[in-house]
Amino acid sequence: MRKLLIALAVVAAWPAIAHQLNVFASVDGTDVVVEAKFSSGKVPQVGEVRVYDATDALLVTLPLTGEETLRFPLDPVAAQQGLRIEVNTGEGHEDYWILTPDDIAAGQTN
């Protein structure tokens, strides 16, 4: 688990910037729920969500919709090893959240 976190963190290391974008993801039953917002509290209106598995393989790319949350079905196979969810809103605003297997298991049982 620690190796996964370190590997994913290194791959997804971004430079710090003003108007920081914060990304959080959780699992709600069979769905992954992604939340992205700027440090100002505003929700990004455009951008892209990229979902990677623990081997850094890109699983899916989704557009942001301007809503506070974005949901997509949890891939049960990839879920066993964890996911990295990146959000890019352009202009250098990027952030990620790592859903660990423990996070996923906790969300599936809620």
Partner 1 sequence: MRSITLATLTAALLGTAAQAHYGMIIPSDPMLEQDEGREIDLTLSFSHPFEDLGMTLDRPVSFGMTHDGTRTDLLDALTETEVMGEAGFGLTQRLERPGTYIFTMEPQPYWEPAEDAFIIHYTKTYVSAYGEDEGWDSELGLKTEIVPLSKPFGLWSGNVFQGIVKLDGEPVPYAEVEVEYYNEDLSAQAPSDLMITQTVKADADGVFTYAAPQSGWWGFAALNTADYTLPQDGEDKAVELGAVIWVHFEEWMTE
List residues binding partner 1 (CB under 8 A): 5-6, 9, 20, 22, 24, 26, 39, 41, 95, 97-98, 102-103
Q: What's the min distance (Å) between Cβ of 9 and partner 1?
A: 5
Q: What's the min distance (Å) between Cβ of 109 and partner 1?
A: 13
Q: What's the min distance (Å) between Cβ of 100 and partner 1?
A: 8
Check if the beta carbon of residue 87 is closer than 8 Å to that of residue 21.
yes
Alpha carbon distances (Å) from 38 to 1, 32, 56, 65, 99: 29, 20, 25, 15, 20
Query: Closest CB to partner 1 among 9 and 46?
Result: 9
